[in-house]
Amino acid sequence: MTAVLSGQLTEAGVRAALGAVVDPELDEPITDLGFVRSVAVADGGTVEVHLRLPTSFCAPNFAWLMVSDARDAVAAVPGVGRVVVQLDDHSDSDLINRGLAADAGYVGTFGHEAEESLDELRLTFQRKAHTAAMERALTALLRADPTLAEADLGEVTLADLPPGPTTDALLQRRAALGLPVAGDAAVLVDAEGRRPDRAAVPMAVRKARSVRISVDGNAHFCRGLLATRYPGAQDDQVPRAADRTVLPLLLDQKVSS
């Protein structure tokens, strides 16, 4: 990997920028998932990035989001001039790569096959990411405090959460949705910031847990598919965070699994 030098465009700097690009369905950086196949930095500020996905038939709209987000992230790196982002080995690689190079946009690239916009799709997955992050934070709190019952979670505020990556992730996802991030804000809310009635708290927690399990399970599955499709790709994957377990966390009898 190119060394990181102050004020100089490097491969490491480009990869760091790509770390802000997430798979919309899996809510993990494409760098952690191993989706970045290669990064090349040439004289004059030209950067070429190749991406790969777990299968050749991954949803084209998801693929477009990641490829276009990757291009925008790299273009914003100081010192970058020309940016080339290529999606390899996908059924729509040629179409996506031509559309991106021509700056045609998603609808301009896919024509009548495209939805009106990907904004609603992106918002849908931002909401799911928030729900999963919320459940992780609340479950971690339950595990750390044996006196806390599931029914009490409706009263938990952001200030009650311990500092750390789990809380940081929740705050980031709340900010993306425009939800309050002040310490007195309730943790257990829906995507519009509405709190459930106390009697509905256990069901709200269980629904959030089902979303989290789905997101984490899909991410685990896709990591395995990528490593199967590209032997050695697992070496490019960052181990998953400890709070991103595939199976339901086992708590005491106060909490359903």
Domain-embedded: residue 221: yes
Residue 205 is part of which domain span?
120-236
* Least confident range of 44-48, 121-125, 193-197, 245-249: 245-249
In degrees, rounded to 5, the angle at the alpha carbon of residue 77 between the alpha carbons of residues 74 and 80 is 80
Per the confidence metrics, is the pTM higher than 0.75? yes
The token duo for 78 is 């100081």
Evaluate whether 94 touches 63 at the Cβ level (below 8 Å): no
84 and 131 co-located in one domain: no
**In this predicted model, what pLDDT tens digit does every residue of 224-238 receive, in sequence order?**
999 999 999 999 999
Same domain, 97 and 139: no
Look up the CATH number of the domain holding residue 81: 3.30.300.130
Q: What is the pLDDT of residues 35-72, one digit of tens each?
A: 999 999 999 999 999 999 999 999 999 999 999 999 99
Q: Are residues 206 and 130 in the same domain?
A: yes
Helix axis angle for 119-144 and 165-177, nearest 10°, is: 150
User: Does one domain contain both 184 and 146?
Assistant: yes
79 shares its domain with 131: no
Q: For the chain, how many structural domains are there in total?
A: 2
**pLDDT for position 252:** 43
Helix/strand/coil percent split, the chain, to 5: 50, 10, 40
What does pLDDT average to over the chain?
Answer: 91
Give the type of residue at 64. Answer: W
**pLDDT at residue number 73:** 98
